[in-house]
Amino acid sequence: MKVLVTGGAGYIGSHVVRQLGQAGHDIVVLDNLSTGYRWAVTAGELIVGDLADEAVIEEVFANHRFDAILHFAANIVVPESVANPLKYYSNNTRNTLNLLQAVERHQVPYMVFSSTAAVYGMPDETVLTEDMPLAPINPYGASKMMSERMIMDLAAASDLNYVILRYFNVAGANPDGLLGQATPEATHLIKVACECVTGQREGMSVFGTDYDTRDGTCVRDYIHVEDLAKAHVMALDYMARGGESRVLNCGYGRGFTVNEVIDVVKRQSGVDFPVAETGRRTGDPEALMADNARIRQTLGWTPNYDNLETIVGTALAWEAIWQKRKDSPS
């Protein structure tokens, strides 16, 4: 298939691009390189451009006849979205609309969209099915919920088919050390802990130790980026086989506490670092895990990297590689 990957130079996008290349797809990456990197695009063609620019989009679609769009490009930092909501509604929601207008004009048949468990907000349940009500509590989650809705409504009015993937906590890196999370100022737990190991951070905070969990810290469902990437490739195959539009959670269905994650990072790296226990943050649910029955059944997806040691191990290995690469002339 001829596929357009927006945000394909970023963390998750770059892992998907690599797998798409291995699967033999013909790839065009559109990325503004605001947080992505040229080196991360290991297959296909990179076009540097911004989805805010409708002329750029039209040019890309005029030059290529795409069978599918995989739409990763987005801002993803929750606290920033609270402070600057219009940035998120512009770069996430409006830019998705810009892309959808091209999808409609050029009658692209398939779309895979990067959504997030943040669309669920603060649910009453801890294991979430895709049918839970959507109630995002921050502009990041709301911007993704709006994008989902626009995609669904366009699909209902046209021949577009979609798979919307709601990511839980994505972590880890390509096990060969080729790719990993290089996002500046990342706020993800495992990335932050790895930066403590390499000395880029002096220490880190744990937000809330009085939750009703096994050690008092929040429980999250960490999914390895290669397993997540595989879901995207399988979603394309599913639609090409005639599969109907679906929303699918991406997670392993079990969780680890913040302290468990930090302990594994320290144990595997052999490096200790200071951890400050501070109060709860607003908007952190106690425990969030994916019910992944639907993705298993719909796509036939099964994970290959479903253990915390592998997630942390690949993340640590990448962090060491990335630190050396950053500091050396490219």
Minimum Å gap between C-beta 211 and its own copies is 25
37 catalytic per annotation: no
What's the rounded Cα separation, in Å, for the pair 308 and 172? 9
State the minimum distance, in angstroms, from the CB of residue 71 to its own copies.
Answer: 15
Q: Which of 120, 140, 252, 305 is catalytic?
A: 140
Q: What is the DSSP letter of 35?
A: S
Strands 275-278 and 127-128: unpaired
153 binds its own copies (CB under 8 A): yes
Rule CB under 8 A: is residue 55 a binding residue for its own copies?
A: no
Q: Binding to its own copies by residue 2, rule CB under 8 A? A: no
Q: Does 48 bind its own copies (CB under 8 A)?
A: no
What CA–CA distance (Å, rounded) separates 162 from 110?
6
- Looking only at residues 69 through 108 of this chain, which bind its own copies when binding is defined by CB under 8 A? 82-86, 89-90, 93-94, 97, 100-101, 104
Rounded to the nearest angstrom, the gap between the alpha carbon of residue 150 and the centroid of all alpha carbons in its chain is 19
The shares of helix, strand and coil residues in the chain, as percent rounded to the nearest 5, are 40, 20, 40
Whichever of 75 and 93 has its CB closer to its own copies, that residue is 93
Strand partners, 256: 220
Contact predicate 262/217, CB 8 Å? no
Smallest distance from its own copies to CB 116, Å = 16
**Minimum CB distance to its own copies smaller for 83 or for 276:** 83
Site membership for its own copies, residue 161 (CB under 8 A): no
* Binder of its own copies out of 24, 131, 133, 324 (CB under 8 A): 133
Closest distance to its own copies from the beta carbon of 284 (Å): 18
Q: Which residues contact 5 (CB under 8 A, 6 or more apart)?
A: 13, 16, 17, 20, 27, 28, 29, 30, 44, 69, 70, 72
- Which of these, 7, 4, 52, 59, lies nearest to 27 by C-alpha position? 4
Rounded CA separation 172/226 (Å): 8
146 binds its own copies (CB under 8 A): yes
User: Does residue number 139 form part of the binding site for its own copies (CB under 8 A)?
Assistant: yes
Question: Which residues are the active-site residues?
Answer: 140
Binding residues (CB under 8 A) for its own copies: these are 82-86, 89-90, 93-94, 97, 100-101, 104, 133, 135, 139, 142, 146, 149-150, 153-154, 156-157
